[in-house]
Amino acid sequence: MPRIQRLSDHLVNQIAAGEVVERPASALKELLENSIDAGSTSLQIELQAGGSKLIKVIDDGCGIAKDDLGLALHRHATSKISSMDDLAKVGTLGFRGEGLASIASVSRLSLTSRFTENDQLSAHAWRVEADHGHLLEPEPAALACGTTIEVHELYTQVPARKKFLKSDSTEYAHCLSMVERLALANPQIQITLLHNGKAQQRWLAGDLAKRAAAIIGDEFVQSGIVVDEGFGSLRLHGITGSPTLGKTSREAQYFFVNGRFVRDKVVMHALKEAYRDVLHHNLHASFCLFLELDPEGVDVNVHPTKIEVRFRESQAIYRFLLTSLSKALAQTKAGKQPEGID
């Protein structure tokens, strides 16, 4: 057996990239979450070849200061937390400081940003480029505001990973569903999406009902039940599908915890139980629901992509979800009873 040696930072990043950026859609998620954390009101997304050739995100957020540009591409460098305490109550989508470093280690990346501080735009923008983790010096650039990131040729130089990528249309479909999740959680942000130069989606800023109608469908919103329930520091709000609108697939199931799309057993169990008596057992409910709770009551640092969470008091969450949803569903049952029946 050879002697132990330290892996280079570059190799560490490339290995980590496999966890954080599994495919173009996961790189896109990291970029969009950064734009959302930066307070953007408008996002433009341009993809080529399902994102494997190009992922470009243009935002109008707070930007990055020139001196921080290189740091943004470093592993474990973040502006979002600085202590264990912060981690326990993290309110941003990102916090691990590894999204950009991971992407930059397996692509050619260009990051252009114009920093805004106290409502004051800096004199001009700066750009840094990184080629598979090798960083160049920042250069002055032109940009009205915010940040523009281009990720070229994700994984083309990492054959082991590249062979796992599917066809462009499959990768695009993954990107689209990623964008849809983030779009549902942020209806106040205008979003446009282009693929291979063609406009695919354009969602104007609006409320959840409008956004959900555009993404899940008019029928879902029109027949859906508006939920807004609270108990202590827990709040559940959003739209849950009418039991008459059961689907044969789980495609229209969106559940967010503190603004983050998650898949969680406790949540799914509660939803299934709530719909048990009103939905045919072969069909799946549609929903777009948001659970808000004290960040200290949920651990989001369970999985590198943060799709899994762990509730501190999962039984209490289960009971709250079940009670709230049963109540919402019962209302419609009662409301739908024809008048005049004894």
**Strand pairing of 125-131 and 108-114?**
antiparallel
Residue 72, interface with ligand ADP (CB under 6 A)? yes
Q: How many residues bind Mg ion (CB under 5 A)?
A: 3
**Strand pairing of 190-195 and 42-48?**
parallel
Residue 24: CB minimum distance to Mg ion, A: 16
List 24, 50, 51, 61, residue binding ligand ADP (CB under 6 A): 61
What burial class does residue 103 get, using C-beta atoms within 10 Å of its C-beta: 0-12 exposed, 13-18 middle, 19+ buried? buried
List 53, 80, 235, 247, residue binding ligand ADP (CB under 6 A): 80
Binding mask 115-154 for ligand ADP (x = CB under 6 A): --------------------------------x-------
Residue 51: CB minimum distance to ligand ADP, A: 17
Q: How far is CA 321 from CA 27, 73, 109, 217, 235, in A?
A: 32, 39, 42, 24, 9
Q: Which residue is nearest to ligand ADP (CB)?
A: 94
Closest CA to 326 of 229, 209, 222: 229
Residue 61, interface with Mg ion (CB under 5 A)? no
Closest CA to 214 of 242, 184, 240, 170: 184
List 13, 14, 26, 35, residue binding ligand ADP (CB under 6 A): 35
Report the site for Mg ion in 279-338 (rule: CB under 5 A): none
H/E segment holding residue 210? helix 208-215
Note whether 168 and 25 are within 8 A (CB): no
Residue 49: CB minimum distance to ligand ADP, A: 23
Interface positions with ligand ADP (CB under 6 A): 30, 34-35, 38, 59, 61-64, 72, 78-80, 94-101, 147
